[in-house]
Structure 1
Amino acid sequence: MKSQKLKMSFDPHTIEHLGIKMYSVLPNAIAELIANAYDAEARTVHVKLYNDNGNKRIAVIDDGVGMSFDEINNNFLRIGRKRRTDDDGLSPNGIRKVTGRKGLGKLAFFGIGDTIRITTCQNGQCVKFTLSWPELMSTNSQEYEPKFSIYKCDTKQNGTIIELDDLKRKSDFDKDDLAISLSKLFNFFDDTFKVYISYNEEGELLINNELKYQNLSPQIIWDFPNEDVKNEYLENHNVIGRILATEKPLKPGLRGITLFAHGRLVNAPEFFGVGESSHGYSYLTGWLNVDFIDELEEDVISTDRQSLSWDLPVTSELQANLKQLLSAIERDWRNKRKIERQKRISGKVQIDIKDWYGKLPSDVKSGVENIVNNVVENSELADDKQTEVVGMLHALIPEYANYHWRHMHSTVKDASYEDYKNADFYRAVEEAIKRYETIIQKVSGLKIDGQTLMGAVFGKNNAKLSVTSKYKRTDGSDFSESTKENIEDGQKFMSMGLMAGVRNPLAHEEKKELKTTDLFSEKDCLDILSLISHLFRRLDDAEKLD
């Protein structure tokens, strides 16, 4: 037993640079301990945070296979060990693809604490040893010999406990915040690998893959591969993932797409060179699994696992296709968001926006769509404000705007509306004229029709109806006889002209010829409907003469 000893070979300056400077951020350092547990085939990991009157410490406990004394010496304490070469990249029993690659993760301990106590058990033997940062840095040789002890334990007591003490951290722990941060560094949490986090042995919280997006409100989700945004290169490389767009813009730190390989972060959230001038990218977040990157012979993942080496041919091709994918998603987002907002607004104002567009004149439709799409739907106005704006716009420019703008008489609308909706403006005019003629016959009691009817009913001489007799000046006096006669004759001649110049041509000529030659256009029909509305208004005020 006395001949046994543990050794760590190192250059102290390398340890200082890689250990402290690279892993000084708490989530990244703890992530290394979680990754070690995963690679050791653990099914459950407990991250325990403690603060006893300012004395802060961390314990990470796993139920993995543990380490023998020789494995500690040859593997764990060997800095820079190429695990993929030594172990074929598999966990001890070959059930997992290991996440470790460079052999530097163990230095994470020293990034956050000066004293590391490790207890690891395997097959009835436990090894307990302590790594001290001050001792390590004060050694005069390139070998550091940590203190240790070996003792027997239950053969079922496999696993490893790593306790971090003498922490450099000044602020207190935030369990919930740390849980979310850790969830963003991994994508392999499931029923076969569970990680819990607690603070002072209270309120243990399960860390899972959904935690990273739990406070977001997804509006649109793309599970990749996706039929709407296909990318042959990514599909051929078995890239899978989920990208989502939120209802409101994300804070800058939450935007971007994270890349994972075998469940572990390899590239922090970004948009891979796509132009981010479109505000659509401020709504996008998500992740993609690019496992093939971790299986390349060449290591293209940075030491701190925050980025890939994008200047290599294989990664450049990946980046180009990711850029292409995100551009397609941004376009699809615009279309889907437009439809989604239209549904919400339509429901609130009870207007079928698509149907409304279809019933607008062509020279008005594009302007209305532009206002709704760009000013309303693409703005950051709240839904209630958007609804209010669309409601006001609809009131100003309703369906069949040309029809409404002429302020059609209610009787004209009743007679012609169905034909107007069907865009049969000629028939709409004919039906309105028929209704006008029928009502005049009923009011006057005359059985004649056409110009003869109009000449007999209206005018200054021998008329059956007067359209001016009920009107007085504001002082109670009569309007001049000439004014009243002119209006009476106007009603007569306009009504006769309606029969001669409108009804008769429409009855005797092909509508196609009238429309094609522009002899009697659809716009003329709209103008005539306005004229009939004026004549009806006069008729409403008419008094029967003896």
Structure 2
Amino acid sequence: MKRVNPRNAYQLEQGIDIPIEGSFTDGNDSVMQQKAHFLVNPRLTRILGETYRSSEAALKELIDNAWDADALNVWVEIPPPLMPAPVVVRDDGSGMSEEQIRQNYLDIASDKRQRSGETTPKHKRRVKGRKGIGKFAGLTLASSMKITSSNGINRCTLTIDKKILLEADDDLEKIPLDFIIDLASDKETGSIVELTSLDQSLNYPTADRLRELLFREYGQERLFQIHVNGEVLGIADLPGHNVKKKETLDATGPVALHYTISHSKSKPKTAGISLRVDGKIVGPPSFFGLDDDEEIPRKLLKNLAGEISVPDTAGMVTADWGGVNESSKAFEQISSFVRDEVKSKLKSTHNRQLNLQKARLQKQINKRLENLPEHRRGFAEKALNKILNKYYSESDARAQVIADVALDAMEHDGYWEVLEKSMKPAKARSYISQKHWPTSDYWSCPIFILRRNAASNFWTI
């Protein structure tokens, strides 16, 4: 007679089904191998929503969804605090079908790039949705989120109530959601997200902070216009030194330059000056030759964003309006105007920021300079200014280390001996070589001291 496991016997007595996939292993009747499964707790919706740093960052996620949907325009409406009206994000993108909502939108952690590739189908944009959790961004702010999406054929409306999700005992996948499918009107496409009953424990989103955040990401995009409370995102939304300049050029007529040199912590994602011809952006942002100017630090150019508006001029724009003819006299005049105007402001901004940083470090620098002979201090200070200029925008802590390393080298007599011969590079290289520097002292050469100290000190902060 076949032996029955006591636990199984009890299950048979009680009428409990024995799992089909169970099996005995190693001849030990008390060990059973079975399958286990994850349970998706509805609290996951709250946990995923808490990944955003601010209310504005959560709203930005909804704009990212519009970008991935190949929208050309996004309209954001943020009503005044304490008003019953919802926060609304509307776009004119491709919209979603019933199947896309069921199979993709409601599929948690589904990576859009794996489904449809790294770029969007129409405008070939780099897809931003990566983790498949952006759908919960709205629930960070609100208790209720209604999504209405039209793909030109159907209009689907999905409503998600956070309170129902959090209070449910079932797995997340078993909770029914209100879902309405209707016919789209007049081939309309796009999506609308409405957020109601905002969470009072969070700071209310403000239009100004949202505009600043969005400009850093999308301010220089050619085919993606964002409207916040009726105003189009613009250069003035980037915090920093904002400049407007109008001029009349011989080859083009009236032009208008508008740009911002942003604060270090508010750099635009895409730096440069855009060329707008008759209201249309032509080509990507550029620096109009400022990137070849040795007087302007490359790092400072990363803080520059703006555009110059000019009338259409014969021969300046290529036939497909995809770029400019750089040989045209009109473009040459425009480039010269931009360089002259922007360079002066960049230099003054750079000098001001550099002087502020130097002032914070000056006390320590002065102590070190006092250790040098008086006839060398003037040159050492000039050399130090050049070094700090090269490492512009580093933190004070790193700038201090860089200054200390340079001053360490300057305190060695060998530094000045090499410097005297540096006017003749061949003679300096020969001097530094082992032939003129004893083997035992080779690594005490000031150039190697500078490199060695930089390597050991720079990364200790």
Larger Rg: 1
TM-score bracket for the superposition, by shorter chain length: 0.3 to 0.5
TM-score normalised to structure 2 length: 0.45
Q: Relative to total residues, which structure has the larger helix share, 1 or 2?
A: 1
TM-score normalised to structure 1 length: 0.39
